[in-house]
């Protein structure tokens, strides 16, 4: 079933604390559907004006009627949260640009690209943050050598992001239990992303937020793409056909959700060896993706391990470090 159908069906329910309908307050924050099991169920995050027991019970009954009786689902799980006055980086007058890093397949270097690009932008004097939203296996903290720990809160109870090499960082990994099954990670993520946009004490002068997205076009990846604000997408692929094939799908999905595609990054493009470029992971993947998405390969990044202090961050003295700086420069001209 279509999520918009569920949202519409819930629209007339009244939040008694505000005496307004769900449609008016945009109360339904997240909808997750599990239709595969024998007992199809729905997970909701609902924002209310007050979250006292009486209000919640009233609303819970009204929702259950719609979801179970009218729409025929067996299971229903509702998380409530307080609707807040809009005061976040998502406000219309916010000048932050979002750049989503997406891929079809995992392991193509999405997180490495996100981290190195963020650092390159910082080296060019920009104020940059990263949201690591890859709940399948977030790796930004590891890549950036930031310990996994629950971030502290400031006096206004906003989450203080970690800071590494001038880049502000917040990760789902700081909040999820490691062995938590994906089916719980999904709905929790919706809640978390709301926090990331509303409750993080980002630097007031932040100019760019890079979002490391989960790979693929599965439910979770799509849910996130719907939750994030309009953003420009970079699609990462390797030169291999199997990677490019799914990258095209991920690109089309992003387009469908009205995100702008900035271009394609072909990672692990070739190996520099004795003055030659060896195409050990195949060739043409980047071009295929770009052509299908009617965009361009904006950067090819060769195979190479960082030689400096950090195991995944390339130093400015290295060829790949300079390539990332070039990519950052190109992007600044594009967005």
Instruction: Specify the DSSP class assigned to residue 7.
Output: H
CA-based nearest residue to 141, from 324, 268, 313: 313
Closest distance between ligand ATP and the C-beta of residue 196, in Å?
A: 18
Instruction: Take residue 7 and report the two structure tokens written for it.
Output: 């949202």
CA atoms 185, 77, 158, 202: torsion sign: positive
* Complex with Mg ion: residue 15 or 134, whichever CB lies closer: 134
- Binding to Mg ion, residues 122-151 (CB under 5 A): 134, 139
Examine residue 267 and tell whether it contacts ligand ATP (CB under 6 A): yes
Three-state SS for 184?
helix
* Beta carbon of residue 151, minimum distance to ligand ATP (angstroms, whole number): 21
With contact defined as beta carbons under 8 Å apart, do 315 and 306 qualify?
Answer: yes
Residue 286 interacts with ligand ATP (CB under 6 A)?
no
268 binds ligand ATP (CB under 6 A): yes
Answer yes or no whether residue 116 interacts with ligand ATP by CB under 6 A: no
3-state secondary structure at position 237: strand
Closer CB to ligand ATP, 112 or 217, in the complex: 112
CB of 6 within 8 A of CB of 42?
yes
The contact pattern for Mg ion, residues 103-122, with x = CB under 5 A and - = no contact, is: -------xx-----------
Give me the 78-107 binding string for ligand ATP, x by CB under 6 A, dash otherwise.
-------------------------x--xx
Out of 215, 263, 286, 321, which residue is the one contacting ligand ATP (CB under 6 A)? Answer: 215
How many Cα atoms occupy the beta-carbon half-sphere of 45 within 13 Å? Answer: 19
Using CB under 6 A as the binding rule, whether residue 112 contacts ligand ATP is answered as yes
Q: Which stretch binds ligand ATP (CB under 6 A): 134-142, 166-174, 178-186, 279-287?
A: 134-142
Contacts of 58 (CB under 8 A, 6+ apart): 16
Which of the stretches 22-30, 193-201, 224-232, 297-305 binds ligand ATP when contact is defined by CB under 6 A?
A: 297-305
Nearest CA-CA partner of 28 in 55, 1, 58, 4: 4
| 103 beta partners | 236
Question: Residue 121 — φ and ψ, nearest 5°?
Answer: -65, -40
> Does 43 participate in binding ligand ATP (rule CB under 6 A)?
no
Q: Which residue is nearest to Mg ion (CB)?
A: 111
* Minimum distance from residue 109 beta carbon to Mg ion (Å): 8
Helix (H) or strand (E) segment spanning residue 288:
helix 285-292
Instruction: Give residues in contact with ligand ATP (CB under 6 A).
Output: 103, 106-112, 134, 137, 139, 215, 267-268, 301, 303-305, 312
Instruction: Give residues in contact with Mg ion (CB under 5 A).
Output: 110-111, 134, 139
């Amino acid at each position: 079933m279509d999520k918009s159908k569920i949202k519409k069906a819930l629209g007339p329910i009244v939040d008694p604390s505000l005496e307004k309908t769900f449609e008016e307050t945009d109360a339904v924050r997240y909808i997750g559907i599990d239709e595969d099991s024998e007992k199809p169920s729905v997970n909701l995050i609902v924002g209310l004006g007050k979250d006292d027991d009486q209000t919640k019970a009233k609303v819970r009954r009204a929702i259950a009627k719609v979801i179970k009786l009218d729409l025929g689902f067996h299971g229903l799980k509702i998380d409530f949260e307080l609707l807040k006055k809009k005061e976040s980086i998502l406000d219309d007058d916010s000048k932050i640009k979002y750049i989503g890093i997406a891929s079809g397949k995992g392991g193509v270097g999405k997180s490495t690209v996100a981290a190195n690009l963020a650092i390159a932008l910082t080296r060019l004097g920009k104020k940059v943050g990263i949201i690591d939203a890859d709940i399948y296996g977030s790796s930004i903290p590891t890549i950036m050598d930031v310990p996994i720990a629950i971030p502290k809160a400031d006096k206004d109870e906003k989450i203080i992001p970690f800071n590494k090499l001038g880049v502000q960082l917040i990760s789902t990994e700081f909040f999820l239990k490691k062995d938590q099954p994906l089916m719980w990670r999904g709905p929790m993520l919706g809640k978390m992303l709301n926090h990331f946009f509303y409750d993080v004490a980002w630097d007031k002068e932040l100019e760019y937020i890079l979002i490391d997205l989960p790979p693929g076009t599965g439910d979770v990846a799509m849910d996130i793409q719907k939750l994030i604000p309009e953003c420009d997408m970079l699609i990462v692929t390797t030169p291999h056909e199997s990677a490019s094939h799914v990258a095209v799908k991920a690109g089309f999905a992003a387009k469908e959700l009205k995100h702008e595609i900035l271009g394609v990054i072909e990672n692990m493009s070739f190996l520099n060896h004795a003055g030659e470029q060896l195409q050990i992971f195949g060739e043409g993947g980047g071009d295929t993706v770009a052509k299908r998405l009617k965009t361009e390969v904006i950067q090819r990044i060769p195979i190479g391990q960082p030689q400096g202090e950090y195991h995944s961050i390339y130093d400015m003295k290295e060829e790949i470090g300079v390539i990332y700086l070039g990519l950052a420069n190109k992007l600044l001209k594009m967005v």
